[in-house]
Structure 1
Amino acid sequence: MTRGLLDAPMETPTIPPPQDEGEKQVLAKLVEIQDKLLLRKLDRTTYIRTQDVMTLYDETTKQVKRLNEIRSGKSVEENRVDSCFQLLSLFFMTIGRNNEAPAAYSLTSTIKRLLDHLTEADLFSAKDLDSMSHTLEHLSEIIHESSSDEPNPWLETLIASRIERCRASLTKLQKKVEDIAEPLRPTAEKLVSILRQMAMINTKSKFHPKDIHKFELQLKEIDEMRKDGNFVDEQGNVLQGSDGVVSLLKRCQLYTGVVLERGGKFPDKWRPIYDVFIGIRNDLDKLSLTQAWSLRETDLYDFQRQLDKIDESRVDGNWIDEDGQPAELYVQRTLLYLIRRSYGYIYHLMISSEPVSEALLPIYNQLQTLKRCLLEVKNSGGVSSVRELYPYSMKLNSIDNMRVDGKFMVADDIPEGQGSVIDLLSECFELNYELRVAAEDAASRSQTPDVR
Structure 2
Amino acid sequence: METPKIPAPKDEGEKEVLEKLIAIRDQLQLRKLDRTTYVRTQDVMILYDQTIEQVKLLNEMRRGKSVEENRVDRVVDSCFQLLSLFFMTIGRNNEAPAAYALTSTIKRLLDHLDEANLYSARDLESMSQTLEHLSVIVHNSASSKPAPFLETLIVHRIERCRASLANLQKRIEDIAEPLRPTADRLVSIMRQMAIINTKSKFTPSEIHKREAELKEIGEMRKDGQFLDADGNVLKGSESVSKLVDRCLEYTKIVLERNGQFPDKWKPIYDVLVGIRNDLDKLSLTQAWSLRETDLYDYQRQLDRIDESRVNGNWVDDQGQPAELYVQRTLLYLIRRSYGYIYHLMISSEPVSEALLPIYNQLQTLKRCLVEVKNSGGVTSARELYPYSMKLHSIDNMKVDGKFMVGEDIPEGQGSVAELLAECFDLNYELRVAAEAATETPPSEQES
Band of TM-score, shorter chain: over 0.9
Match of 2:304 in 1: 309
Match of 1:435 in 2: 430
Q: Residue type of the partner of 1:411?
A: G
Match of 1:272 in 2: 267
Compute the displacement of 1:149 (Å). 2.5
1:215 and 1:119 mapped to 2: Cα distance?
Answer: 24
1:28 and 1:362 mapped to 2: Cα distance?
Answer: 38
CA contact (8 A) 1:126 1:174 kept: yes
Match of 1:226 in 2: 221
* Identity %, equivalent residues: 77
Match of 2:346 in 1: 351
**Is 1:149 aligned with 2:144?**
yes
| Residue-by-residue CA offset, 1:300-343 (whole Å, 9 max, x unaligned) | 01111111111112222211222222111100100000000000
1:256/1:449 Cα in 2 relative to 1: closer, same or farther (>3 Å)?
closer
1:256/1:404 Cα in 2 relative to 1: closer, same or farther (>3 Å)?
same
Compute the displacement of 1:32 (Å). 2.0
Relative to structure 2, which stretch is displaced further, 113-122 or 23-32? 23-32
Structure 2 unaligned spans of 5+: none
| Residue-by-residue CA offset, 1:273-320 (whole Å, 9 max, x unaligned) | 111111100000000000000000000011111111111122222112
**Is 1:37 aligned with 2:32?**
no
Q: Residue type of the partner of 2:143?
A: S
Question: What TM-score results when the alignment is normalised by the length of structure 2?
Answer: 0.93
1:388 and 1:451 mapped to 2: Cα distance?
Answer: 23
Match of 2:285 in 1: 290
CA contact (8 A) 1:68 1:154 kept: no
Name which of 152, 174, 178 aligns with 1:183. Answer: 178
Please give the secondary structure, in 2, of the residue aligned with 1:404. coil
**Is 1:91 aligned with 2:86?**
yes
Structure 1 unaligned spans of 5+: 1-13
Q: Residue type of the partner of 2:355?
A: L
Using CA pairs under 8 Å that are at least 6 residues apart, name the structure with larger relative contact order, 1 or 2: 1
2:307 and 2:284 mapped to 1: Cα distance?
Answer: 29
1:255/1:443 Cα in 2 relative to 1: closer, same or farther (>3 Å)?
same
| Residue-by-residue CA offset, 1:334-364 (whole Å, 9 max, x unaligned) | 0000000000000000000000000000000
Q: Residue type of the partner of 1:184?
A: L
**Is 1:105 aligned with 2:100?**
yes
CA contact (8 A) 1:112 1:166 kept: yes
Match of 1:10 in 2: none
Name which of 212, 220, 223 aligns with 2:207. Answer: 212
Match of 2:123 in 1: 128
1:71 and 1:256 mapped to 2: Cα distance?
Answer: 53
Compute the displacement of 1:224 (Å). 1.5
CA contact (8 A) 2:25 2:78 kept: no
CA contact (8 A) 2:316 2:322 kept: yes
Please give the secondary structure, in 2, of the residue aligned with 1:409. coil
CA contact (8 A) 1:64 1:154 kept: no
CA contact (8 A) 2:109 2:339 kept: yes
| Residue-by-residue CA offset, 1:360-418 (whole Å, 9 max, x unaligned) | 00000000000000000000000011110000000000000000000000000000000
| Residue-by-residue CA offset, 1:241-270 (whole Å, 9 max, x unaligned) | 111111111000000111111111111111
1:71/1:355 Cα in 2 relative to 1: closer, same or farther (>3 Å)?
farther
1:19/1:125 Cα in 2 relative to 1: closer, same or farther (>3 Å)?
farther
Match of 1:299 in 2: 294
1:170 and 1:20 mapped to 2: Cα distance?
Answer: 37
Compute the displacement of 1:74 (Å). 7.7
Relative to structure 2, which stretch is displaced further, 302-311 or 73-82? 73-82
2:430 and 2:67 mapped to 1: Cα distance?
Answer: 60
Question: What TM-score results when the alignment is normalised by the length of structure 1?
Answer: 0.92
